[in-house]
Amino acid sequence: MYTQRFPLDLLERTLWTAAQAAAGVLLVAVGDLPQWWAPVLAAALAAVKGTAAGLVGVPGSAATLPAPRGPAAAPAASEGVR
């Protein structure tokens, strides 16, 4: 069920989510904005990160980790999961 890359993918997603949440809270504090802006800003940062990651990581994916190489590599996200 889980691939060898699953722990790295989980760690990447967890760290990016924490960074986006922290950045949202920081922007609210620095900008003296109402607290309800924190999740809105974090979601906007997630969208920007996902879009930018499409240029860096696995094609067709919002992951920033590089694509695995070699014949034993898992199929790319654009190929679908079976």
Q: What is the pLDDT of residues 13-36, one digit of tens each?
A: 999 999 999 999 999 999 999 999
- Residue type for position 1: M
- Residue 74 falls within a domain, yes or no? no
**Per-residue pLDDT at 82:** 47
- Residue 38 falls within a domain, yes or no? yes
**Per-residue pLDDT at 61:** 77
Q: Which is it for the CA torsion 77, 61, 63, 47, positive or negative?
A: negative
Q: Are 76 and 67 in contact (CB under 8 A)?
A: yes
* 34: containing domain: 19-53
Is the whole-model pTM more than 0.85?
A: no
**Per-residue pLDDT at 72:** 52
Provide the mean pLDDT of the chain.
83
Query: Domain tally for the chain?
Result: 1
Q: What is the pLDDT of residues 66-77, one digit of tens each?
A: 777 765 555 555
